[in-house]
Amino acid sequence: MADELSRADRSSLAAERGPVNMSIMAALVLEPGGGGGGITREGLCRRIEERIHLLPRYRQRLQQPALGLANPLWADDASFDVGWHVRRARLPHPGSTADLAGFVGDEASRRMDRARPMWELHLVEGLSRGRMAVMPKMHHALLDGMAALGVGMILLDPSPEPLPVDEPQKPWSPRPFAMSRQLARLATAPLTRAQRLTLDAATRALEASPRSTAGDVWRAAETLTELARMRLPAPELPINRPISASRSFAMVRAPLIGVKAAARAAGGTVNDVVLAAVCGMLDGYLREAGVDPDGLERDPVALVPVSVRDEDDGSLGNRFSLVFIDLPVSEQDVRARISTLNARTNAAKRAGRVAAGSLIIEAAGFGPPLVASMLARAGGDRSPFNIVVSNIPGPQFPLYLGGSRVLAAHPVIPLNPASQGLSVGVLSYDGALCFGLTADRALEPPVERAAAALETALRGILAVR
């Protein structure tokens, strides 16, 4: 059996040319130990084999019609081998966070094999203090609402004991809504509060089909393209030069309780504080690159998803829209920076075109990389934005893999278009903000300097009371 690719799927594939790699990844850091002697490659293979029937797309590959006379299709991979997709690596001693970031950067530089289902799972051993890391990697074309949800459903559990999963009732064949049946069965079982929260979020995510979600993303991209044509081009920054095919990566964490306190004190939201941290990062990074932020022709611009759901909206799900936010990098007062960002974000959300282009995003925040190349093309020689900031709300309770607690989860957001030298992914998880900075390896100064500037900015934010 075969399924047509949505326009969003095809756009993701078309964007992957030249130095652009449309792989989405995450670095999950896990505590030592866990049930059954810890996590092994063999155990991960068994976990996926037990649950992959919930995600038929993960056993499908691209099929190119003869002579290229039609669009590619998703087709069953008759030679599917889960062992090929699950890989094991060991970091060099001492297995520091920087060593893990280096491994992630190497993998972000390598494109997916389009002759096989376009996902991989890497088990990374050798982290200091006995920790491990697991790195899911998949092509952006897989990340519709169903697939993004499925990554968590296949890998993670909300308690050390795994959630029960029904065995397939018959040999493998495509069953697009198998996960819906699984969730319906779980709804009748006794669950802990954390399990119930996970189930409720998953059920909301399945209210929108993958195809309708992809259509929403496409319509939002078209709306943003119209907005981009109406805006002045973003200023030229050192992070917006032609990129290479090689990537580097860095990770930063901040306590969510401190971020929320700063947001309350300055009259903003967590998203405003995230953008304020990015402002501080750019301020420090530009100065180190020899650029005076006060001398820029206009404020740098971020492409970022923001919630446009009304407070009195009682419907399930979240409404997000991708908007352009001008970043006040020259403002040195942290409170004033947060307040300014709050005002600009609210103004953007009130814009009629933004409301019309809002999209339903459940269990994912990966819209920006998909539409970024469209927006850049709309701007001609000058892009309408300088940086992508993808802020993804996550669960505020611990998740587990094989009995081991996930300590941190850092997203890896691809660089797109080919002039995008730095992107920022943020995932709120279990009381922390986990930042992932993806950069061109040739970026100068390197990504480590951007991470250091971000840490400095976050220290200033956490001091706000």
**218 shares its domain with 202:** no
In the chain, % of residues over pLDDT 70? 72
**166 shares its domain with 31:** yes
**Which among 290, 294, 224, 272 is positioned nearest to 391, based on CA atoms?**
272
pLDDT at residue 423 tops 80? yes
Q: Structure tokens of 152?
A: 């968590």
What gap in Å lies between CA 163 and CA 195, rounded to an integer? 8
Element (H, E) at 199: helix 193-205
Q: What confidence score (pLDDT) does residue 4 get?
A: 75
pLDDT at residue 86 tops 90? yes
DSSP symbols for 446-459: -HHHHHHHHHHHHH
Average pLDDT over residues 84-110: 97
**Which among 427, 457, 396 is positioned nearest to 271, based on CA atoms?**
427
In the chain, % of residues over pLDDT 90? 50
Q: What confidence score (pLDDT) does residue 198 get?
A: 54
**433 shares its domain with 380:** yes
**198 shares its domain with 249:** no
pLDDT in tens, 364-384: 444 566 666 666 655 556 788
What gap in Å lies between CA 105 and CA 272, rounded to an integer? 28
**319 shares its domain with 240:** yes
Number of domains in the chain: 2
Report yes or no: 432 and 258 within 8 Å, Cβ to Cβ.
no
pLDDT at residue 359 tops 70? no
Q: What confidence score (pLDDT) does residue 391 get?
A: 85
**190 shares its domain with 244:** no
Give the CATH number for residue 376: 3.30.559.30
Is residue 402 assigned to a domain? no
Radius of gyration of the chain (CA): 21
Is residue 404 assigned to a domain? no
Is residue 389 assigned to a domain? yes
**191 shares its domain with 275:** no
Give the CATH number for residue 154: 3.30.559.10
**196 shares its domain with 298:** no
Average pLDDT over residues 205-210: 45
- Give the domain range for residue 142: 2-208
Greatest mean pLDDT among 26-35, 173-182, 357-366, 443-452? 443-452
Q: How many residues does the chain have?
A: 465
Q: What confidence score (pLDDT) does residue 223 get?
A: 66
pLDDT in tens, 176-205: 434 455 455 555 656 565 555 555 555 544
pLDDT at residue 322 tops 60? yes
**Mean pLDDT across the chain, nearest whole number?**
81
What gap in Å lies between CA 254 and CA 273, rounded to an integer? 11
**176 shares its domain with 229:** no
pLDDT in tens, 240-281: 999 999 999 999 999 999 999 999 999 999 999 999 999 999
